[in-house]
Amino acid sequence: MTQSQSASSTKPERIVVTGGAGFVGSRLVARLLDDGHHVVVLDDLFTGRKDNLPLGHARLEFVLGSVTDFALVKDVLRGAAIVFHEAARNIIVSTKDPRQDYEVNIGGTLNVLLAARETPGLRRTVYASSASVYGNPRYLPINEDDATNMLSPYSVSKYAGESYCKAFYESYGLSSSSVRYSNVYGPGQRADNPYCGVIAKFFEAAMAGEAPRIHGDGEQTRDYTYIDDVVEATILAGMLPKADGQVYNVGTGRETTVNQLARTIIAVTGASMEPQWVDRRDIDNIRRRVVNIEKLRRELRWVPRVTVENGLRRTYEWMTSAKTAGP
């Protein structure tokens, strides 16, 4: 059985995606629809966009609302077999407003788990976590059982969500799995979203003939992961029995400096400039990051298929076509 077959060979089901109008959520929704499932999206459109979704699709329902509304979450989950919990305030919002981070990322996750516990027939809750929970690691690559070190309100809330998943699994037998994403990028990540990732911003600058702005010296590293690989890993964590109660790193196992990233993007766009180095931001407190993906490879037979170079080319092609198409 191939990787894609193992993730999509189950019979069509009703599946809920919280935060389904966001970058990762909307790509997950598209894949689930392609696999024949009926998908319900719950999103408050704080950073998500309706035009990320194929509204009007016969098997797609969109519900405008927040995971902070327990009654609404409970109603949305009715009849669902799986819930993919992608809704969250990201690191920039969380750092600016820790209370909102707490209410959405922690309170919202608790609501999803409480509602899942009360939903007959719900088979699995998949929680979208983050490699930010590791902070500045002592060893590289980072294993799932390495020490955590929360350096931002966002990482605190993401780890709290994981902890609630584990507690509900141990206390109530609620099936769940957590996926720790590492720097997701790719088509669908819009540069006009003020909360988007660095890759979309670098592309926007290079395509406009402007120097990509690097915060700090640019020698900080990340493990940049292409969106389609992330979606595949997330679905496997929801569909396969082996993932029950587990936590998985989702990355490439390859360390890339921000300077390398910027220069690759400049080359891909055919631009001719040097990056611009500016002051480090408060959120830029992780020096190096690369995750070990052996557990996900061994247990769920997942491997990343898209290299950073190929992923950046695909992203550039999408951004070029999106710009041509207009708003």
DSSP label at residue 182? -
Structural domain contains residue 5:
no
- Give the DSSP letter string of 140-185: SSBPTTSPP---SHHHHHHHHHHHHHHHHHHHH---EEEEEE-SEE
pLDDT in tens, 198-229: 999 999 999 999 999 999 999 999 999 999 99
DSSP labels for 76-91? HHTT-SEEEE-----H
Per-residue pLDDT of 81-123, as tens digits, reads 999 999 999 988 999 999 999 999 999 999 999 999 999 999 9
**193 band by pLDDT with thresholds 50, 70 and 90:** low
In this prediction, residue 2 carries a pLDDT of 45
Q: How many CB atoms lie within 10 A of CB 74?
A: 16
Question: Which structure tokens are listed for 262?
Answer: 């910027």
Of 57, 87, 63, whose CA–CA distance to 76 is shortest?
63
Sign of the alpha-carbon dihedral angle for 306, 307, 310, 316: positive
pLDDT classification of 322: cutoffs 50, 70, 90: confident
Q: What is the pLDDT of residue 71?
A: 98
Q: Is residue 64 part of a domain?
A: yes
pLDDT for residue 284: 76
Strand partners, 64: 43
What is d(CA 251, CA 248) in angstroms, rounded to the nearest whole number?
10
Mean pLDDT of 20-46: 98
In angstroms, the CA 326 to CA 263 distance is 27
Residue 220 lies in a domain: no
Coil, helix or strand at residue 214: strand
Answer yes or no: is 206 within a domain.
no
Cα Rg, the chain, nearest whole Å? 19
**Distance in angstroms (rounded) separating the CA atoms of residues 95 and 129:** 17
Count of alpha carbons within 13 angstroms of residue 9, beta-carbon side: 7
d(CA 49, CA 105): 19
Is 323 a member of any domain?
no
The answer to whether the CB of 283 falls within 8 A of the CB of 95 is yes
Tens digits of residue pLDDT in 268-314: 999 999 999 999 877 778 999 999 999 999 999 999 999 999 999 99
- Check which CATH number belongs to the domain holding 164 and give it: 3.40.50.720
Q: Is residue 276 part of a domain?
A: no
pLDDT computed for residue 191 by the predictor: 75
Q: How far is 67 from 79, CA to CA, in rounded Å? A: 17
The structure's pTM equals: 0.94
- On whether the CB atoms of residues 234 and 84 are closer than 8 A, the answer is yes
Q: What is the pLDDT of residues 119-143, one digit of tens each?
A: 999 999 999 999 999 999 999 999 9
DSSP letter (8 states) at residue 54: -
| pLDDT of the residue at 323 | 72
Q: Which of 285, 290, 284 is nearest to 223 (CA)?
A: 290
For 39, the enclosing helix (H) or strand (E) is: strand 38-43
Q: What pLDDT score does 206 carry? A: 96
| Structural domain of 294 | 13-182+226-251+287-305
Q: Is the pLDDT of residue 1 over 50?
A: no
Q: What is the average pLDDT score of the chain?
A: 94
Q: What is the pLDDT of residue 197?
A: 81
The catalytic residue among 127, 134, 154, 159 is 154
Q: Which two tokens stand for residue 325?
A: 């198409």
Quickly state the pLDDT bin for 42 (edges 50, 70, 90).
very high
Burial, 282: exposed, middle or buried (Cβ in 10 Å; 0-12, 13-18, 19+)? exposed
Q: Is 5's pLDDT higher than 50?
A: no
- CA distance between the termini of the chain: 41
Q: Residue 62 contacts by C-beta under 8 Å, 6 or more apart in sequence?
A: 20, 21, 41, 43, 50, 53, 55
Poorest-pLDDT segment among 184-198, 235-249, 303-317: 184-198
Contact 139, 112 (CB under 8 A): no
* Structural domain contains residue 213: no
Domains identified in the chain, total number: 1
Q: Do β-strands 256-257 and 225-226 pair in parallel, antiparallel, or remain unpaired?
A: unpaired
| Digit-coded pLDDT (tens) for 65-78 | 999 999 999 999 99
- Does residue 199 lie in a domain region? no
Q: Please say if 164 is a catalytic residue.
A: no
**Does the pLDDT at position 327 exceed 70?**
no
Q: Is the CB of residue 179 less than 8 Å from the CB of residue 237?
A: yes
Which uninterrupted H or E stretch holds 113?
helix 108-117
Report how far Cα 132 is from the mean position of its chain's Cα atoms.
12
